[in-house]
Homo-oligomer: A and B are copies of this chain.
Amino acid sequence: MVNIAVLGYGTVGSGVVEVINTNGKRINQRVGDEVYIKYVLDLRDFPGDPVQEKLVHDFEVIVNDPEIQIVVEVMGGIEPAYTFVKRSLLAGKSVATSNKALVAKHGAELLSIAKEKNINFLFEASVGGGIPIIRALNSSITADEIEEITGILNGTTNYMLTKMFYEGADYDEVLKEAQEKGYAERNPEADVEGYDACRKIAILSSLISGYQVDFEDIYTEGITKITKQDMMYAKAMGMTIKLLASSRREKEHLHAIVAPYLLPEEHPLYSVNGVFNAVFVHGNVLGDAMFYGSGAGKLPTASAVVADVVDEAKHLNKNVMTMWESEKVELFPIEETSKRFFVRISGDAEAMKPHLESKFGAIDVVKVEKLANEFGFVTGVMTEGEYSRNAAEFPGILHMLRIEE
């Protein structure tokens, strides 16, 4: 019997209990032993719920019970999650978590404790919900150098952008609807400003580089400035707008960014719609691959957490996770990264084109019939620094979007 304790009986925690109850027979068959939930930690009581008999209010009961071999942390937030996870690992218990904030901040340290103790710290559910991207990077795509990883890592904003694209709705409208449907929080900042996607790409960046990438260092721009006019231009160009979180390796350098991008129809991420998430990976021998699925939700997230539990139960005394060092990797300054830019500007295209081309080089003009007194143009490939210097000379610029090739 493998005894586990679940810290937190919220959405994901109750999902973990439900998944183990529903698929227990199959799970035990895969582990080759019985996975048994001995404790559930929560400050609350749940009278009438069968979980009540396993409920404890004091973490000491769990950490001091030598029978507990795996701890599932699904409380969220940094504290007390960090203290509980660290103490569990130091006590020789493997930990599975869905907590992206914890992993982004303390992943390197917690992984190194797990390695030292020859146990495991796994966090599949912290990025992309049910999408098995972390295990793919750790155990599947092991013959490659991962050169790029680009994801749609936030379901709330993808739902909103999908609505704006297909229904021509404006930002405020879709935010209100997303809030009514429960897809967006009353305070939607973490989603719409890109902070959630930023923590997730920080974790993926650390994994592919092997070094610590601090989320605070990643240039992050949300979707709050995306308008229905932007979507009209996107459509006119046969593209869509997605909030991408991306990390690219170039020799010793890494550049990471979270921002809304224009995406061409041929890109595998183009048709990832609604609350779905997807992660595009480019390996130097594998080429292009993509992983798609539910980025959030009680059961998909719990499915990923329980898959970690299965892995840990099969490797009780063997560390299987790739480490990343606590040493920080230097991110390439955004000013020096190159791409094409789409720019909306007030005025008349014919009159302004010569001046624009004198600064930006050859441009492609884009017009949307319904939008008078403005036009769009696409630049050639240039650095963000060059773009900014040139753009400063045109006060009529209304909005800029980066283009993903």
- A64 located at the interface, meaning its Cβ lies under 8 Å from any Cβ of chain B in the complex: no
A131 touching B289 in the complex, CB below 8 Å, given contacts A22-B284, A142-B27, A307-B142: yes
A140:B307 contact, CB within 8 angstroms: yes
Segment touching B, from A152-160, A198-206, A291-299, A349-357: A291-299
Closest to A25 in B: B145
Cβ proximity bits A313-328 to B, threshold 8 Å, 1 near / 0 not: 0100000101000000
- A83 located at the interface, meaning its Cβ lies under 8 Å from any Cβ of chain B in the complex: no
- A285 located at the interface, meaning its Cβ lies under 8 Å from any Cβ of chain B in the complex: yes
Q: Report how far A292 CA is from B279 CA in the complex, Å.
A: 10
Of residues 300 through 341 on chain A, the ones whose CB sits less than 8 Å from some CB of chain B are 300, 302-307, 309-311, 314, 320, 322
B287:A290 contact, CB within 8 angstroms: no
Q: Report how far A288 CA is from B276 CA in the complex, Å.
A: 9
Query: How many identical chains are in the complex?
Result: 2
Which residues on B sit within 8 Å (CB–CB) of A290? 290-293
A285 touching B299 in the complex, CB below 8 Å, given contacts A23-B145, A136-B132: yes
Q: Report how far A72 CA is from B132 CA in the complex, Å.
A: 26
Q: Report how far A305 CA is from B285 CA in the complex, Å.
A: 12
Which residues on B sit within 8 Å (CB–CB) of A359? none
Closest to A273 in B: B266
- A382 located at the interface, meaning its Cβ lies under 8 Å from any Cβ of chain B in the complex: no
- A130 located at the interface, meaning its Cβ lies under 8 Å from any Cβ of chain B in the complex: yes
Cβ proximity bits A17-52 to B, threshold 8 Å, 1 near / 0 not: 011101100110010000000000000000000000
B139:A139 contact, CB within 8 angstroms: yes
B285:A23 contact, CB within 8 angstroms: yes
Q: Report how far A139 CA is from B306 CA in the complex, Å.
A: 11
Q: Report how far A300 CA is from B132 CA in the complex, Å.
A: 19
Question: Of B132, B289, B305, which one neighbours A293 at CB under 8 angstroms?
Answer: B289
B307:A26 contact, CB within 8 angstroms: no
Of residues 121 through 172 on chain A, the ones whose CB sits less than 8 Å from some CB of chain B are 124, 130-132, 135-136, 139-145
A141:B303 contact, CB within 8 angstroms: yes
B132:A303 contact, CB within 8 angstroms: no
Which residues on B sit within 8 Å (CB–CB) of A284? 22-23
Q: Report how far A294 CA is from B273 CA in the complex, Å.
A: 22
B132:A307 contact, CB within 8 angstroms: no
A23 touching B289 in the complex, CB below 8 Å, given contacts A136-B136, A139-B311, A303-B283: no
- A271 located at the interface, meaning its Cβ lies under 8 Å from any Cβ of chain B in the complex: yes
Q: Report how far A271 CA is from B278 CA in the complex, Å.
A: 14
A140 touching B136 in the complex, CB below 8 Å, given contacts A286-B294, A293-B290: yes
B140:A132 contact, CB within 8 angstroms: yes
A268:B292 contact, CB within 8 angstroms: yes
Closest to A18 in B: B285
Q: Can you report 5 A-B residue pairs in the complex whose CB atoms are below 8 A from each other?
A: A20-B143, A23-B143, A135-B140, A142-B307, A268-B271
Per CB-CB distance, the 9 closest pairs between chain A and chain B, nearest first, are A143-B306, A132-B140, A289-B293, A290-B292, A142-B310, A286-B303, A271-B271, A285-B303, A285-B299
Residues of chain A touching chain B, judged by Cβ–Cβ distance below 8 Å, are: 18-20, 22-23, 26-27, 30, 124, 130-132, 135-136, 139-145, 266, 268, 270-271, 273, 276, 283-294, 297, 299-300, 302-307, 309-311, 314, 320, 322
Can you add 10 more A-B contacts, CB < 8 Å, to A143-B302, A143-B307, A286-B294?
Answer: A18-B285, A130-B286, A142-B310, A270-B271, A286-B300, A286-B303, A287-B293, A288-B293, A289-B292, A290-B290
